[in-house]
Amino acid sequence: MDKQKEIRTSKFLSLVLRHKPEVIGITMDENGWVEVDELLQKMASKGKAINFEELQYIVANNNKKRFTFNEDQSLIRANQGHSIDINLALKPKSPPNILYHGTATRFLESIQQTGLEKRSRQHVHLSADKATAAMVGKRHGKLVILEIKATEMQKDGFDFFCSKNGVWLTDKVPVPYLIFPSNE
């Protein structure tokens, strides 16, 4: 699969497995799983045909590890990032002391007032390391990395989850748990 087709297909899979399954008319269960055969057939019917081996390649090689198969590879789902209501069936987990969130400086004023909000997504996405936070945040403009007092949040009753691809998830991050970079 050439790189451009891989990128286009990955973006399309993100659209239908995270946000709009109705674009191709796939049926998703309550946990976000879709039958692989149905996905491939419906993609083909919409002019987005790929074969099973290409799908396996995308799942294995997506730089953000956005997708996962079940054990026998008969089902597929997105690991997180859904704007539709699904239950990923994740169990609460103890986070590292500090987590990170990459964003653009243009969002800082709003974040300083309201904290990090999930908005149209099911969770706020956090990273265990600055490099990953930077990779995510730089897509949105001039980068700023925020630190989150995750252990403190958990002690205060906030739940954290870790998706299969290592993205930390929580419902919100109130302002008192954020560490903003100092103005240099």
- Give the predicted TM-score (pTM) of the model: 0.76
pLDDT band, residue 32 (cuts 50/70/90): very high
pLDDT at 93 exceeding the cut of 60 = yes
Q: Are 124 and 57 in contact (CB under 8 A)?
A: no
**Residue ranges of domains in the chain, CATH in brackets:** 3-78 (1.10.10.970), 98-179 (3.20.170.30)
Average pLDDT over the chain reads 93
pLDDT band, residue 10 (cuts 50/70/90): very high
Averaged pLDDT, 63-89: 89
Confidence at residue 184, expressed as pLDDT on a 0 to 100 scale: 46
**Matching residue, tokens 């906030």:** 158
Confidence at residue 85, expressed as pLDDT on a 0 to 100 scale: 85
Confidence at residue 183, expressed as pLDDT on a 0 to 100 scale: 63
pLDDT in tens, 49-62: 999 999 999 999 98
Q: Are 123 and 86 in contact (CB under 8 A)?
A: no
